[in-house]
Structure 1
Amino acid sequence: MTAVVCALLAAVANAAASVLQRRAARDEPRHPVLSPTLIVDLLRRPVWLAGVGALIAGFVFQAVALSAGQLALVQPLLVTELPFTMILVSLVSRSGLDARSWLATGLVTAGLATFLATAAPRGTGAVVAPAAQLPAAVVTVAVLAALVAAARFLAAAPRAATLGVAAGIGFAFTATFIKQTTSLFQRDAPALVTSWQPYAMVGAGLCSFVLLQHALHSGPLLAAQPALTVSDPVASVLYGITIFGEEIRTGGWIVLETAGVVLILYGSTLLAQGLARREPDGRRAT
């Protein structure tokens, strides 16, 4: 129960961060993919810094959730960030949610419930040796490098989607280090100083954060948000299985699990369309 509650609180905090950071990033002039000047420019914007504060709060809630639950349980719950984002935008713009938005929220919720109920993630996970995580790290770096390289040659919308997928995978991989770091803290807190997991967590988190900013800046929200929302939990389930030995149901259950993911993706797309129509200050996302 603690894992579920903290994961939902993390989703609320991440939603607040998305609203604030999106508002700052969209007003920036066009920057090349992964240009360091984007972050430098955003540092001058108080609204963006407030978003960073919300993101840190989300990180803390996520860490608590991962210390109490499986990666394959906690990360999919973060999909609720998108409905929470829609609600926050509606509150800021002082306009209620329309029927389409409520339908989309229901689809995301139903898809998430279907996936978690049918997948039934199990297994506690554990701190793993570097050699055990090395194959996942090599594959992750290769995939992210390929996505970033491809994004340089794409137009705005596909570039935002591609970088959104990269950011989602990056945050999922960061979550593997968060889980290990919290487990180490519970077992032997002083050992964190000499352990590699906390430093890997910081490095992976910063890289993912940069990818997220460029995804939000590169193209329309309609392209970036669904890609980010779905790639994180899907990648997290794979990491949970391959790194921590977590298990989900297979066989015929895969059909229902896939149906849940499809509902999440479709609902996320509808919500992103609504978000693209109602920015906090009334302008469309670019």
Structure 2
Amino acid sequence: MIAVALAVLAAASNALASVLQRRAARTAPAGQAFRLGLIAYLIHRPAWLGGIAALIGGFAFQAGALLFGGLALVQPILVVELPITMMFIGCVFRVRLDRRSWLAVGVLTGGLVMLLLGAMPSEGHQVPSRMLWAVATLVTLGLVALLLTVARLATGAGRAAILGVAAGLGFSFTAALMKQAVREVERPSTLFTTWTVYAMVLAGLVSLFLLQNAFQSGPLVAVQPALTVADPVASIGYGVGLFGETIRLGAWSVLELFAVGLIVYGSTLLSQSPPLRRQKVMAAGT
């Protein structure tokens, strides 16, 4: 239960971070896309700095959750970040959610509950070898490179969604490194002698850069569903492949696939909500 509570707090912190960063990133010049100048521009925006503070809080809660639970349990719970984000959007951008939006939130949340009940993820105790980390790193880099190539060919909401998937994959890999780091850092003095800490920071910064480009490319309602769904789905794979975590398969797979379908459908329905689509125009004028 401690892992679940900390995961929900992490989701809330990440949701606040997304809304604040989106508010700042939408004012960035289009020519700054995929450039470090985008970060130089954003660092002078108070809303973006507030978003970074919330993001750091989210990482802290997530690290605590991973200390008490496995990736396959903690990361799917972070899906609640999406409905929480939409609530924050309503407050920050003064967007009133309609019945369709709340239906989408209900479908997405129901899919999450169904996925967790079906999979019944249990923590593994396998220590990943360097070979496993090498394979996971190469696969992750390959997928991110492919997504970036496709994103450069897309525009608007399509590019934002693709970059959201890439950022979600990056944050999922960061969480896997974080899981390993919290195992290895036994004392504060060992914090700077553990390779996973440096790898985690690097992966997190790259993922953050991808996320800022996603926010700059299109509306939050295009980015957030892609980000929120990609992260937990990839994390289940990392949890099983790297740490030996287990989920129920066999006949349960039908329920789990249906649950993932509900999550995707709820996310898509939410992204098509008219009140939230109007947020794009409102944000651009801030």
In the superposition, the TM-score normalised over structure 2's length comes to 0.93
Secondary structure in structure 1 of the residue aligned to 2:121: coil
Query: What's 2:181 paired with?
Result: 181
Superposed counterparts of 1:27-66, under 5 Å: 27-31=27-31, 33-66=33-66
**Stretches of structure 1 lacking an aligned partner (at least 5 in a row):** none
Superposed counterparts of 1:24-103, under 5 Å: 24-31=24-31, 33-94=33-94, 96-103=96-103
| Residues 93 and 283, structure 2, Cα contact 8 Å, conserved in 1 | no
* Separation (CA, whole Å) in 2 of partners of 1:226 and 1:92: 19
* Separation (CA, whole Å) in 1 of partners of 2:219 and 2:95: 21
Deviation at 1:190? Answer: 2.9
Secondary structure in structure 2 of the residue aligned to 1:248: coil
Superposed counterparts of 1:228-239, under 5 Å: 228-239=227-238
Superposed counterparts of 1:266-277, under 5 Å: 266-274=265-273, 276-277=276-277
Letter of the 1:179 counterpart: K
| Residues 3 and 69, structure 1, Cα contact 8 Å, conserved in 2 | yes
| Residues 33 and 152, structure 1, Cα contact 8 Å, conserved in 2 | no
Query: What's 1:144 paired with?
Result: 144
* Separation (CA, whole Å) in 2 of partners of 1:116 and 1:245: 17
Deviation at 1:55? Answer: 0.5
Secondary structure in structure 1 of the residue aligned to 2:263: helix
Query: What's 2:167 paired with?
Result: 167
Deviation at 1:228? Answer: 1.0
Alpha-carbon distance change, 277 to 100 in structure 1, aligned in 2, over 3 angstroms? same
* Separation (CA, whole Å) in 1 of partners of 2:19 and 2:216: 13
Deviation at 1:133? Answer: 1.1
Secondary structure in structure 1 of the residue aligned to 2:44: coil
**CA offsets 1:43-77 (integer angstroms, 9 cap, x no match):** 11111110110111101000000110010110011
Letter of the 1:57 counterpart: G
Deviation at 1:92? Answer: 3.0
* Separation (CA, whole Å) in 2 of partners of 1:277 and 1:132: 42
* Separation (CA, whole Å) in 2 of partners of 1:216 and 1:201: 22
Report how many residues are paired: 285
Alpha-carbon distance change, 245 to 277 in structure 1, aligned in 2, over 3 angstroms? same
Instruction: Say yes or no: does 1:153 pair with 2:139.
Output: no
| Residues 219 and 277, structure 2, Cα contact 8 Å, conserved in 1 | no
Q: Percent identity?
A: 52
Per mean C-alpha deviation after superposition, the further-off stretch among 63-72 and 225-234 is: 225-234
Alpha-carbon distance change, 91 to 108 in structure 1, aligned in 2, over 3 angstroms? same
Deviation at 1:95? Answer: 5.6
Letter of the 2:265 counterpart: Y
Letter of the 1:71 counterpart: L
| Residues 27 and 284, structure 2, Cα contact 8 Å, conserved in 1 | no
